[in-house]
Structure 1
Amino acid sequence: MRGKTAEDLKLLDLLDPVAEAVGYEIVRLRLMGGERNQRRLQIMAERPLLEDGTGGDMNVEDCAKLSRAVSEVLDAADPISGEYTLEVSSPGVDRPLTRLKDFDTYEGYEARLELDRLAEGRKRFRGVLAGVEGDQVAIDLEGEEETALVPFAWIVEAKLVLTDELMKRGAQTRAARLESDEQQTSE
């Protein structure tokens, strides 16, 4: 889910080490557009989540830093034919969930899942994330008594639902980041 196409996956192989070297993780990468339209390489990234719960966010300076690092490698390797625009951003509060660990990190928050096949007669599900069991995502679905287990490999799209609780978490993350930045500049 971090990349949709074979070209996306090749770019992830090239750019993951670059992002990690400058202190970030790529959440999602998409190369969009075709022959007629100028292509757009969209990278969503974040700081790794630390054991103390800090990290996991990106500010404008972080985006610029990652953009410069990625641009150098893209210019040297030239893996994309033709012109393209590079966009680097944070995943945002109602972020996509693209890695198995994301479903653990956001346990207790509401999410929407879309599968590549029918399960229980449908492809789309909405519920509260209940963590991960092996390679399966646990989710408490609306109107169901038991927690459903969905194989991660079946999920083609997953996203957090914007709720007051999620907004509060986002505000707390930003506040912790600002406090951490202030402490570092005063030292």
Structure 2
Amino acid sequence: MSKVAQQVEQLVNPILDELQLELVDIEYVKEGKDWFLRVFIDKETGVDIEECGMVSERLSEKLDETDPIPYNYFLEVSSPGAERPLKKDKDFERAIGKNVYIKTYEPIDGEKVFEGVLTHYDGNVIEVEVKIKTRKKTVQIPFNKVASARLAVVFS
């Protein structure tokens, strides 16, 4: 996590705790000539636009007070959407039984991309049931080899 993201996390967590919301992710990225600070929030029942607006207002005030970002930027506060990133232990635990998309740093069984149902997570190993042609196979992925993971939307 970048230094800016760490500073923003410290500022936003008390706001989210008060509103009983959860921090999903923070991105601080340059796109073209513009910088974007994106804060993704959620809760069990999902977040609405009013909650995103409330967090945006309060966080904007804190950012103005502390001024941790040296450049002009756009602040965006939103839901992570249907393809929510999986980063923390609780994200993986909640995703058991759901479709996931995982990329690894290095090949496992000759593959670096896995899409299927997350069947098990113990903090060290992720098990995903993938479909290969007409049969299903369970792949064990060491957690330390995961480059990125997210929920996957499946269209039938």
TM-score strictly above 0.5:
yes
- Asked whether 1:31 is paired with 2:22, we answer no
| 1:136 Cα deviation after fit | 2.4
The match for 1:41 is: 37
Is 1:160 matched up with 2:151?
Answer: yes
Q: What does the per-residue CA deviation read over 1:165-185, in whole Å, with 9 as the maximum and x for residues that have no partner?
A: 9xxxxxxxxxxxxxxxxxxxx
Which residue, out of 12, 18, 22, partners 2:19? 22
Distance in 1 of aligned mates of 2:112 and 2:10: 29
Equivalent position of 1:103 in the other structure: 92
Q: Provide closer, same or farther for how the CA distance between residues 119 and 59 of structure 1 changes in structure 2, counting only shifts above 3 A.
A: same
Per mean C-alpha deviation after superposition, the further-off stretch among 130-139 and 104-113 is: 130-139
- Are the structure 2 counterparts of residues 135 and 69 from structure 1 closer, same or farther at C-alpha, using a change threshold of 3 Å? farther
Q: Which has the higher strand share?
A: 2
How many Å separate the matches in 2 of 1:23 and 1:140?
Answer: 33
* Distance change in 2, residues 1:41/1:153 (3 Å): same
Aligned match of 2:117 in 117, 128, 145? 128
Change (3 A) 1:153 1:16: farther
Would you identify which runs of 4 or more consecutive aligned residues in structure 1 move more than 4 Å?
A: none
Corresponding position of 1:176 = none
Taking the aligned partners of 1:153 and 1:77, their CA distance within structure 2 comes to 34
Conserved 8 A contact 1:40-1:86: yes
Q: Distance in 1 between matches of 2:155 and 2:55?
A: 30
Match of 1:91 in 2: 80
Q: Supply the distance in 2 between the matched residues of 1:71 and 1:64 (Cα, whole angstroms).
A: 10
Unaligned runs of 5+ in 1: 50-54, 166-187
CA 110–84 in structure 1, closer or farther in 2 if over 3 Å, else same: same
User: How far apart, in 2, do the equivalents of 1:153 and 1:16 lie?
Assistant: 26
Cα deviation, residue 156, structure 1: 2.2
Q: Which has the higher helix share?
A: 1
Question: 8 Å contact 2:131–2:137 — kept in the other structure?
Answer: no
Provide structure 2 residue ranges, at least 5 long, that are not aligned to the other structure: none
Question: Per-residue CA shift, 1:100-151, capped at 9, x if unaligned?
Answer: 2122212222111011222222221111111312332221122375533323
Please report the TM-score for the alignment, with normalisation by the length of structure 2.
Answer: 0.84
When normalised by structure 1's length, the TM-score is 0.71
Tell which deviates more after alignment, 59-68 or 16-25. 16-25
Residue of 123, 130, 151 corresponding to 1:141: 130
1:142 partner SS: strand
**C-alpha displacement at 1:6, in angstroms?**
4.2
Equivalent position of 1:151 in the other structure: 142
